[in-house]
Amino acid sequence: METKNYSPGILQYIPFFYVIWSDNLLSYSETSVVKKAIEQDDTLTKEDYNYLIGYLDKKTPPAYQELKHWKKVISNTKIKLVESDTYPLSTFSQKMICHHFDECPFNSHLKDIEINLGIQPNHYNHLFEIEIIKEITSSYYNPVELDAILKGDHASIIDTFRDVLKDPIFNWSIKRDKESFRAHVLKQVEFLAKEGYGAMAYPTLYGGTENMPAYAAIFENMMYVDGSMAVKFGVQFGLFGGSIQKLGTKKHHDAYLSETGKAKLLGCFAMTETGHGSNVRGVKTTATYDKETDTIIIHTPGKNDNKEYIGNALHSSMASVFAQLIVEGKNHGVHAILVPIRDAEHKLIPGVTIEDNGYKLGLNGVDNGKIWFHQVRVPRENLLNKYGDIKPDGTYHSDIENPSKRFFTMLGTLVGGRICVARAGLGGAKKALAIAVKHALKRRQFNDSVKIQEDLLMDYPSHQLRLTPAIASCYVYDITLTHMMKEYSDTTVLDKRKIETQAAGLKSIITWFANNTIQECREACGGKGYLMENQITDLKGDVDIFTTFEGDNHVLLQLAAKGVLSDFKSEFNSAGFTAVLKLLGARIGDKLNTINPIYINNTDKDHLYDVKFHKHAFNYRTRRLTYTVAMRIRDYVKKGIPSYQAFLKVQTHLLALGKAYSVELAYSTFADFTDTIKDEKNRLLFQKISALYALHELKKDASWYLEQGYIGGTKSKALRKHVERLSTELRPHIGVLIDGFGIPEHCMEAPIAT
């Protein structure tokens, strides 16, 4: 084709003409806008004017060959279009002139066309065969380094696992039928078992590596694929297999652990009942020992005493059943017994009834069901007897004589499940944030009267405030849960009561955080976030249940608060009057410090960002709530009110204490970890993340601190101001912070995130 040489006047208009004619939808009003600009452009020659006006007649649009030539002229310049320019297309046209001619002034008439027609890069960048620069995030920090910090000691295991997730079996798709969904999830779990991940937390003798912390880490990564897969995996290997490992003895390990880890023996964890959810100690299912036959009879006494919401119920052949163990007519409390529920042909064992729970809000790839037992007999050896046993002579024995202590010791061994639920919730929040942020770094909305290019959603302070504190929280909770699982897995620590208190509180605040964050991300993506293809809907449905399984969050927060009170009581009992004076002295010191006008209204940045201020503020809240709730309980008991009723009267106070304790624990753990980061650049980043988390949490509870006189109105306003300021300061790095989560690219399949 003949190559034409255009004058500067014509050349600068070619990108505009190419854009407005490519869709062939130029209206008469739009034509008049372009025509007016050309008529007022005194830089054009008469020939330029006639050429341009000639291509503004809707009745005779440019021929295909002419459009093709315009496109070639544009492409041959190899000029890059910068979306962040105030007038991207006008600036691009100016650069074209600069490419061919010595003089290339900016043409304000082109700017008028760009403004009046509202021409934006997202309207035309698909038309140009050129690279478009999108300046949306800084590269100052390295996401690989951030991911490495979060992975910690388990980097190689997590990286290998993420590679495993590249297998096509883990490709995401919309699944509406629960039967096919369940079948697919079972195949995924069996696939992971063959790769050795099912047995990971088990002893090496049974195919594992005894690496519970790494197991928890990959559990979070499963949420990047599918919540149903993660939960099904957790039920099979964590709950069912974990109960055998933690509550059973060698005979049970030898008989069942290897097959469980390989997913050859599918099992379920039958604890919760319809009539007894959070109150495990009150379950009604009985396990009565029959000395004559040397068997244990499992029985559901009433209609609502069935096991409820049991994951893996439809696929399992065995259940780990929690029931009241009755030996020689005496109830020895809740114990776990292995009960076959299906035979080799997958038919129900006589006496076992199972019903499908049906469709749920989410996790429809998990086969939840209800289970009833009618006089089902199992051998005495099926009792998981680490903490309580029935001897061959038919008598009961336990090394832990106190029934309450024995019960809580048994449950304490299963705390790892709560940590994994928190990790799964965190994984859901991370993926939702990744989708929302990546969308906000592409999606544009609104602009001012000068800048033609609409602004990125992520550049709006309100959007930053919606998402950035949540990203900071993800980093804080990630490090905290890693530390907690390490503590839980420490075999030298026999008393797990402290970690049980910590897990109860953190599981609560993190799963609530996850749900709130996912909802915020859904809204931040507008209607696109409501489409199933963009996956936030699945995350929303799947993570919702995390607030009530493995313990209802309100119940767990009270459990955490009671753990704090137990430590408080122990301190008093061990040190007596001295401890009381010590605590009172600390409270008086706090009061004197906080009523100081200089302190309560100190808005200096160095003070507000100081770890010492954050730790003191969180610790003050925890200690004050501990003392005041203890005094309230004491006063009620003094009045003759039973202790149980006294606790009911202070229930909301206990919830506040449990939350305060958990937030303090998370912050202190993260702040202490941050001090260990050797690379100064990353350490400073983590310090900024730490400050944002702290100030955001203090801002949320500002009313309490104001009531206590800990801060004044001026300082309260400063907290809000600096949360916004830190969110803005982290804006250039928001993409890197999201990539620092390490979510594999093959798990980010949402169209708005690619």
CATH of domain 267-416: 2.40.110.10
* SS3 call for 135: coil
DSSP 8-state assignment for residue 13: T
Dist. CA 82–CA 93, nearest whole Å: 12
Task: Identify the residue whose tokens are 């959070």.
Answer: 278
Dist. CA 82–CA 105, nearest whole Å: 18
Structure tokens at 684: 């400073």
Instruction: Note if 66 is an active site residue.
Output: no
Residue 334: strand pairing partners: 324
Strand bridging mode 318-327 / 81-82: unpaired
Dist. CA 346–CA 316, nearest whole Å: 8
Dist. CA 456–CA 445, nearest whole Å: 6
Domain with CATH 1.20.140.10 in the chain: 417-753
Q: What are φ and ψ of residue 731, in 5° steps? A: -55, -45
Do the beta carbons of residue 321 and residue 270 sit within 8 Å? Answer: yes
Buried-state track 276-289, b at ≥16 Cβ within 10 A, e below 16: bbbebeebbbbbbb
* pLDDT of res. 24: 66
* pLDDT of res. 571: 52
3-state secondary structure string across 614-646: HHHHHHHHHHHHHHHHHHHHHHHHHCCCCHHHH
How many Cβ atoms sit within 10 Å of the Cβ of residue 30?
18
* pLDDT of res. 581: 45
Domain with CATH 2.40.110.10 in the chain: 267-416
- CA–CA–CA angle 666, 670, 673 (5° rounding): 145
Dist. CA 431–CA 294, nearest whole Å: 52
Dist. CA 553–CA 545, nearest whole Å: 11
Residue 715's nearest CA partner among 705, 724, 725 is 705
Q: Where are the alpha helices (DSSP H) in 101-198?
A: 108-117, 121-124, 143-151, 155-164, 178-194
The one-letter code for the residue type at 412 is G
* pLDDT of res. 405: 85
User: Which one of the listed residues 30, 550, 697, 724 is annotated catalytic?
Assistant: 550
User: What stretch of H or E contains 577?
Assistant: helix 577-594
* pLDDT of res. 258: 97
Strand bridging mode 295-299 / 352-356: unpaired
Task: Identify the residue whose tokens are 């009045």.
Answer: 639
Residue 420's nearest CA partner among 326, 495, 372, 489 is 489
Dist. CA 334–CA 322, nearest whole Å: 6
User: What stretch of H or E contains 297?
Assistant: strand 295-299
DSSP 8-state assignment for residue 456: B
In this structure, which topology does domain 417-753 adopt according to CATH? Butyryl-CoA Dehydrogenase, subunit A; domain 3 (1.20.140)
Structure tokens at 259: 């097959």
Give mean pLDDT in consecutive 10-residue pieces for the chain, a chain of 754 residues.
72 90 73 90 92 86 87 86 80 90 90 82 70 72 96 96 97 94 98 96 94 92 97 96 96 98 97 86 95 97 94 97 96 96 97 97 97 98 96 94 85 84 97 96 73 77 95 98 92 80 96 98 96 96 94 92 78 49 55 67 92 95 90 88 88 96 98 97 97 98 94 94 93 95 95 92
How many Cβ atoms sit within 10 Å of the Cβ of residue 531?
15
Dist. CA 368–CA 356, nearest whole Å: 6
Residue 82: strand pairing partners: 133
The CA–CA distances, whole Å, from 727 to 234, 459, 466, 722 equal 35, 11, 9, 8
Residue 120's nearest CA partner among 104, 132, 107 is 132
Do the beta carbons of residue 453 and residue 86 sit within 8 Å? Answer: yes
* pLDDT of res. 207: 94
Dist. CA 405–CA 387, nearest whole Å: 10
Dist. CA 543–CA 345, nearest whole Å: 34
Dist. CA 29–CA 43, nearest whole Å: 24
- Alpha carbon distance, N-terminus to C-terminus of the chain: 38
Dist. CA 637–CA 627, nearest whole Å: 15
User: What stretch of H or E contains 497?
Assistant: helix 497-524
Q: Which residues contact 46 (CB under 8 A, 6 or more apart)?
A: none
